[in-house]
Chains A and B, each alone.
Chain A
């Protein structure tokens, strides 16, 4: 028996080591032209890729008329936000950058204390690592700065960088137990900033990629807790809670997002009494995105919960932990860690879906700006839709690729798939 097993399932003998490669010509021959079929595929693919790259590069550097983007840069970025109130956006971004830096510094210090990160790395090395991490964002911002024709954006960028650096430097000196204060402070700050940005201007003047980012940020922040609660509710032992959660999830997963947005945009007035002031369109959009995405988040989180071995719960119970502690200290952290890729995918999808709100609700979001710009007197009828749509694509790509890369980094830090 023993011998049979070892004979049958024995590891096959290792392949003889490959002969050392003899230069690039040999590498090409072995990897691209190993057989006649390989050679044909390689040549065809090279022609197709070369053609696409050539056409794309020609569009980018030669035939593309980017004046439409340069002229309408403010519209693309912030929509119809009044020019003499733009300083409010600068202040808000600077504050966010400072708090972001503060949190980054605080977290880094905790890591050093916990011994997971080596302290005292040289600053240049850390800068290189940071730029390597965020290069799409850095390149994108530099591109936007060079497109702009006024000093304002440069000053804004400088203020943001300075604030972030100051926050990062101050962060490590926060007292050890500031985590709760930081979280609560961020929430208060966010509410204050929204008030600060909208009070004198009004939602209808918001627009451009700023509006897309705001809708996505608000939607993501609000839908996550709701989704987690729904996931727990769907696994609840109480029939009523479970029925409500299932009904909610299946209802919102079963209707198209665009229909929900349209309904809330133009039909809400039929359902609420006339004396009641209906909420603004942006608020309605945030509510729809939150409710809709929460249903998906709930199913993703439920998947994470189901992937955990039952032993985890049982071990926690054996230790005498209460059900609440079991859920939030043992089960949930592991479940969430396992579903980071799916969650971030959902959030990226939400970010891109914010363009639907522009179409359904008449916001002047980045996509609608692309459309409206081609109707301007200076640009109408000149077939510039490719340029303006291409620019919007770039804006969204920068946002999505940054989210994606940061989530991959988070996975590595948390050791997903390795432990």
Chain B
């Protein structure tokens, strides 16, 4: 008799929990209804969870909307915390890896520092968060990181479904195919029925299948979690081809155990991979601040401002450059673009981290990467910053 009572108790407790949850949601759903059309707040009420669901429902008045946005922008949170939490990785040579002192070095890591220099005035105020490929968007959505600078391709569904806002591409990449030099492949067309190995959880997987289908070839794609394991499989002959973004293949080839000549990278670029920093959706102020921090490096290179000459440039007589670096223009006015950044943010970025070309040169040139698409627009590349005025 008592047994059955206890047995009944567990589902009962679960039931009461569910019931409680339901009645809660019922309350929230019910409350806005009197204030007008009940369907309206469906998009609004999710992020700023419910201390006062009513205020969200009436949020069409500008004051309330502004209040909500200023209260929630990461720009304020980051300034208050005095540190930028930047999602990176720790095992991608050239883009983000650890030196033996444990510091993050690389192209992506430097762009984290660019953001810290622009927002906080100090490039060292970065908390690097190492993320696995699968976890990166969840970490961004849940607020574990402020900005994702993790070698991430900007795609439509990531922009939409993953709730990320992509900013300006820091590196225009494209997928390529690498094979052993002695494998007898001259181009992708020779690789019918080949086994192609890629890193899992990336856009590379789908691109290979698409490219082989376009050429009416069959392919077997194998995914690996770890680059080291992929390389072992490749050396052991379990992969005919190794496909990834060109930037990664060049780096891997340059450090291949049997020497770079043992590998061939085909010229065909069969995908667009704009590697782009991302922030969370619905936070325009933070997105603008990060975006202009990135633009500052490109604009600085265009102006010819380097880490070495930035002091002279700021004191020089080119009014546009002086204004860009936070100095007073001819009328004695300092331009505050209203981005929520210090007027001298570009000065901080260039003096502490460098311009785009310097960041590229420092991290990627040794790997054997050329500027290519990432040259300035004046040099035939795609890197272009909107005017700063």
Q: Hey, which bits of chain A sit against chain B, CB under 8 A?
A: 71-72, 74-75, 79-81, 83, 202, 204, 207, 239-240, 242-243, 246-247, 262, 265-270, 273-274, 278, 359-360, 362-364, 368-369, 371-378, 380-383, 385
Is B332's beta carbon under 8 Å from chain A? no
Instruction: Give the chain B neighbours of A368 by CB distance below 8 A.
Output: 90, 130
Name the residue on B nearest A271 (C-beta). B142
- Taking a contact as CB atoms closer than 8 A, the residue among A239, A246, A266, A381 that contacts B144 in the complex is A266
* A383 pairs with B257, CB closer than 8 A: yes
Q: Known contacts A80-B103, A375-B98: does B93 contact A383 (CB below 8 Å)?
A: no
Count of chain A to chain B residue pairs whose CB atoms are closer than 8 Å in the complex? 123
What is the CB-to-nearest-CB distance from B380 to chain A, in angstroms, rounded to a whole number?
Answer: 30
Does B35 reach chain A (CB closer than 8 Å)? no
Decide yes or no: A372 and B135 within 8 Å by CB, A273-B49, A274-B72 being known contacts. no
Cross-chain contact A240 with B9 (CB below 8 angstroms)? yes
**A274-B48 contact given A74-B101, A80-B102, A371-B226, CB 8 Å threshold:** yes
- Assess whether B129 is interfacial by the CB under 8 Å rule: yes
B135 touches A377 (CB 8 A): no
CB<8 Å pairs between A and B, sample of 9:
A71-B100, A207-B102, A239-B5, A240-B9, A266-B144, A360-B135, A375-B91, A376-B100, A377-B93
- CA of A380 to CA of B254 in the docked complex: distance in angstroms? 10
Main secondary structure of the interface of B (DSSP, over half): mixed
* Nearest-CB residue, chain B, relative to A203: B127
Is B209 part of the binding interface, using a Cβ–Cβ cutoff of 8 Å? no
A385 to B93, CA, bound (A): 15
Contact with A along B75-118 (1 / 0, CB 8 A): 00000000000000011110001111111000000000000000
B9:A243 contact, CB within 8 angstroms: yes
Please give, as numbers and ranges, the residues of chain B lying within 8 Å of A382 by CB-CB distance: 255, 257
Cβ contacts under 8 Å, A80 to chain B: 98, 101-103
Selected from B13, B129, B138, the residue in CB contact (under 8 A) with A243 is B13
Q: When A269-B144, A274-B48, A274-B143 are in contact, do A72 and B138 touch as well, CB less than 8 Å?
A: no
Residue of B nearest to A78 (CB): B102
List of B residues within 8 angstroms of A385 by Cβ: 228, 232
Contact indicator A371/B228 (Cβ below 8 Å) = yes
Tell yes or no: B388 within 8 A of A by CB. Answer: no
Q: Which of B4-19 contact A (CB under 8 A)?
A: 5-6, 9-10, 13
Given A74-B100, A376-B97, A383-B232, output 9 extra A-B contacts at Cβ < 8 Å.
Answer: A72-B100, A204-B128, A267-B138, A267-B142, A274-B47, A274-B48, A362-B131, A364-B90, A380-B93
Within 8 Å CB of B138, what residues of A? Answer: 266-267
Binding site for A on B (CB under 8 A): 2, 5-6, 9-10, 13, 47-49, 51, 72, 90-93, 97-103, 127-132, 135, 138-139, 141-144, 226-228, 231-232, 235, 251-252, 254-257, 366
CB-CB nearest in chain B for A382: B257
Bound Cα distance A368, B132 (Å): 11
With a CB–CB cut-off of 8 A, which chain B residues contact A267? 138, 142
**Which residues from chain B contact A207 at a C-beta distance below 8 Å?**
102
B6 and A265 contacting across the interface, CB-CB below 8 Å:
no
Partner of A372, one of B97, B144, B257: B97
Given A372-B98, A380-B255, are A266 and B90 neighbors across the interface (CB < 8 Å)? no
Residues of A within 8 A of B91 (CB): 371-372, 374-375
Known A-B contacts A243-B10, A381-B257; the reply to A79 vs B49 at CB < 8 A is no
Q: What is the CA–CA distance of A75 and B139 in the complex, to the nearest angstrom?
A: 25
Closest Cβ–Cβ distance, residue B110 to chain A (whole Å): 15
